[in-house]
Copies of this chain bind each other. A is one copy, B any other.
Amino acid sequence: MVTQMDVARRAGVGRRTVSNVVTGFPYVSKDVRERVLRAIEELGYVPNRAAQQLRTGRSGVIALTVPEVGVGYFGELGNLVVEEAAARGLGTVVAQTRGSREREITEIERLLALQPDGVIMSPLGLTAEDLAGVSARTEVALIGEHFVGSPIRTIAIDNAAAAGDIVTHLVQSGREHIAFLGMSAASPNFNQLRRRGYLEALERHGIAPVAAVEARDFTSADGYDAGAVLAARLAEGAQLDAVFCVTDEVAIGAMRALHDAGLRVPDDVAVAGFDDIVEGRYANPRLTTVSPDKREIARQAVAAVLGEPADDAQIAYRLELRESTTGIVQPA
């Protein structure tokens, strides 16, 4: 193994100087820096992480848990977190929890054994207590899910407000019978917030909610099933001209079900989602949705676990009004 000392000898400088070059310490003459760099190159020197970690107390690795990696919203977000961390010279180790509390706990234990500098989580089943246990052991930041009263840093948009905005858009484009398609009360917080935003917005506009259809979970399959129920009700004469879905994936499933039932989106029923996943941009019709600033979420989450002070409380979002509610086709 090539050590710093080898490099120092080769470059004819002291060890300290090599360290300075490696860590980017500014006061090194250009000449010396180049000599060191060349020696590093020639020797194929790679800093030993264990030694760095032992010395600095930082492992240079952060951990990330998501329900599902490489799929949908959390997949996209996960990639951004990995990117953001890499840009800061940090490695990211990812665990997939499938949203069950049990798996979330096992996976967290696995990750913690690696002694990461911090962990970013998107908990779906974890309790506030579980979380407190974790945050006693390492820096924690939460993405998406809020735990009211918990001191843990959470990075999220204002879910209720965003849901309200999209419902308002539906109302303003003339829809009068708007259903919410999501989970019931006993569900992750974000689902409840989006549902509440929907209810409050309807109330503001003096419109009665349509009897809710419950999705079992957040997959497109669940959306399809719920969408089929909706279509059946419509066939029986129920009043319905818009559906606000708790996530894009659910919305995409619902659109397919409506289409299969011979209904046109948005002509017969407008459909809106939430999260702005890539699939929604290429769906047919293109899906109207709430687009959170994912890159900013990733940035702040990484900053948060590194203990940097929070800059903004809330993440920005904007409405992506597309074909599935407006009927207007725009380039992706």
Contact = CB atoms under 8 A, between A and B. Distances in A.
Interface residues of A, number: 23
A93 B93 contact: yes
Nearest to A93: B93
Interface string A102-115: 00000000100111
A100 interface: no
Secondary structure class of chain A's binding surface, majority of residues: mixed
A69 B69 CA distance: 8
Interface string A27-54: 0000000000000000000101111011
Contacts of A110: 82, 86, 91
A139 to B, nearest CB: 15
A270 B70 CA distance: 34
A94 B91 contact: no
Interface in A64-86: 68-70, 82, 86
A97 B24 CA distance: 31
Interface of A: 46, 48-51, 53-54, 59, 61, 68-70, 82, 86, 91, 93-94, 96, 98, 110, 113-115
Of all A-B residue pairs in the complex, the 7 with the closest CB atoms, nearest first, are A50-B53, A50-B54, A93-B93, A50-B50, A49-B115, A91-B114, A54-B54
